[in-house]
Amino acid sequence: MSGGVDSSVAALLLKEAGYEVMGVTMDLWREESREELARQGGCCGLSAVEDARRVAQILGIPHYVLNFRAAFREKVVDDFAAEYLRGRTPNPCIACNRHLKWGALLRRSVELGADYIATGHYAQVGRLANGRWAVRTATARAKDQSYVLYPLTQEQLSRTLLPLGGYTKEQVRALAAQASLPVARKPDSQDLCFVPDGDYAGFLAREVPEKLPGPGNFVNARGETLGRHKGIVHYTVGQGRGLGIALGRRVYVTRIRPETNEVVLGEDDETYAQTLDCDGLNFMGLADLARPRRLWAKVRYAHPGAWCTAVRDCQRSGLAASLTMFFCGPLQRTPRPQGRPGRTFAGRDVFFPTYTPPEKIFYAPFAPGGAKLCETF
């Protein structure tokens, strides 16, 4: 129970369904001010614990606060900093799900005598005809959070309940109000719980000042210097605004090179690729991918998706990848509608469903550390 409306209503629904429910709040991060967390609706600090405790009292269920601060710092915060220093833009919610909620918390919950772990994610879990478990999209597509659950193993999925998968946010808030839960109108968290002000570069400057690279050069694809940047952690691939350089035309970040402390800028047609290499596979609905398959690919949380052919252990141009996706058209690395095919890039936390009506999509076969693949069964 994070202290928000979603996890509170998840507990409410499970109790009404006849489950013996215990509320658990993860004590993860308490360095933010109480006022900041209350305003942001954060899920990591003191205000979250207090809200969860109040809800548990109203529901008449036991409530526990478990200290996972050391694990959170190691698996989420330190990884967040390390990824930025590598020139990547991480998704810490995925790391938190993998290592904390369905890692440390699930293990501790089993020790407390629980059979399942339940959260307020808008997604569904189903068992397929072949006996394997898979994540499924939520009914409310605008709130669907199945993307961030791609690392879950078969054992973890078999112990997972997601009561909100068939509800809209409006319905959830209405249920909370009907039950007189004090969090019924609590705002959703908009930023990372450990960076409530949204200033990631400022957070890194406080956390790892000795590792933070200083200013460097903006360059083009040919290596020609275009100007100076203020540090690679201030930029992300695809960024086209707030670059701090005027070239008389719109340019975008196409690559970040931590080894040379350079940020590569390019034109619109330099921001696309047609091939994606990834590894760190997590198989869900299939035990493995024995042959190439045509799949619907989602390369980031808000990406609408695109068709691709997925090939296992592809050898191409002397490079080996656990999985390679060949897209039918240019895959955008920026929120732009068109581009040029032919380039390759490596991804992290990408996701691939085969296209069918939304209610029939199971996020199944696997989720590479750069990709989540899904197919209908």
Q: How many domains does the chain contain in total?
A: 3
Predicted local distance difference test score (pLDDT) of residue 274: 83
Q: Rounded to whole angstroms, how far apart are CA atoms 156 and 136?
A: 15
Which of 193-213 are b and which e, b meaning 16 or more Cβ less than 10 Å from the residue's Cβ?
A: bbbbeeebeebbeebbeeebe
Regarding whether 99 and 53 lie in a shared domain, the answer is yes
Regarding whether 169 and 75 lie in a shared domain, the answer is yes
Residue 320 lies in a domain: yes
Tokens standing for residue 145 = 């959070």
Q: Rounded to whole angstroms, how far apart are CA atoms 296 and 304?
A: 10
Residues involved in catalysis: 96, 193
Predicted local distance difference test score (pLDDT) of residue 30: 65
Regarding whether 37 and 167 lie in a shared domain, the answer is yes
Regarding whether 294 and 170 lie in a shared domain, the answer is no
Looking up tokens 């009907």 gives 178
Residue 276 lies in a domain: yes
Per-residue pLDDT of the chain (377 residues; tens, 9 = 90+): 999 999 999 999 999 999 999 999 999 886 655 455 445 445 555 678 899 999 999 999 999 999 999 999 999 999 999 999 999 888 898 899 999 999 999 999 998 889 999 999 999 999 999 999 999 889 988 899 988 898 899 999 999 999 999 999 999 999 999 999 999 999 987 778 888 888 899 999 999 999 999 999 999 999 999 999 999 999 998 899 999 999 999 999 999 999 999 999 999 888 888 888 877 778 788 788 888 888 777 777 877 778 888 888 766 655 555 788 888 777 655 433 333 333 434 444 555 443 333 333 333 333 333 444 444 33
Regarding whether 259 and 347 lie in a shared domain, the answer is no
Q: Rounded to whole angstroms, how far apart are CA atoms 71 and 79?
A: 11
Q: For residue 217, what is the domain's CATH number? A: 2.30.30
Regarding whether 344 and 250 lie in a shared domain, the answer is no
Tokens standing for residue 204 = 């890194």
Predicted local distance difference test score (pLDDT) of residue 141: 85
Domain closes at, from 270, 298, 315: 270
Regarding whether 173 and 52 lie in a shared domain, the answer is yes
Regarding whether 61 and 171 lie in a shared domain, the answer is yes
Predicted local distance difference test score (pLDDT) of residue 90: 87
Of 347, 361, 355, whose CA–CA distance to 308 is shortest? 355
Residue 250 lies in a domain: yes
Predicted local distance difference test score (pLDDT) of residue 53: 95
Please name the amino acid found at residue 334.
T
Structural domain that includes position 316: 272-363
Q: Give long-range contacts, CB 8 A cutoff, 24+ apart: 87-93.
A: 87/232, 87/255, 87/256, 87/257, 87/258, 88/256, 88/348, 89/236, 89/237, 90/348, 91/148, 91/301, 91/348, 91/349, 92/192, 92/194, 93/148, 93/192
Predicted local distance difference test score (pLDDT) of residue 43: 56
Looking up tokens 């296992």 gives 312
Residue 200 lies in a domain: no
- Cβ 365 vs Cβ 373: under 8 Å: yes
Domain closes at, from 270, 292, 310: 270
Regarding whether 279 and 266 lie in a shared domain, the answer is no
Per DSSP bridges, beta strands 23-27 and 117-118 are unpaired
Residue 376 lies in a domain: no
Domain closes at, from 270, 293, 315: 270
Predicted local distance difference test score (pLDDT) of residue 377: 30
Residue 232 lies in a domain: yes
Phi, psi of 2 (to 5 degrees): -85, -5
Regarding whether 101 and 248 lie in a shared domain, the answer is no
Residue 36 lies in a domain: yes
Which residues, in sequence order, are CB contacts of 38 under 8 Å at separation 6+? 47
Regarding whether 294 and 337 lie in a shared domain, the answer is yes
Predicted local distance difference test score (pLDDT) of residue 168: 96
Residue 188 lies in a domain: no
Tokens standing for residue 341 = 């095919």
Regarding whether 317 and 241 lie in a shared domain, the answer is no
Q: For residue 86, what is the domain's CATH number? A: 3.40.50.620
Helix (H, G, I), strand (E, B) or coil at 372: coil
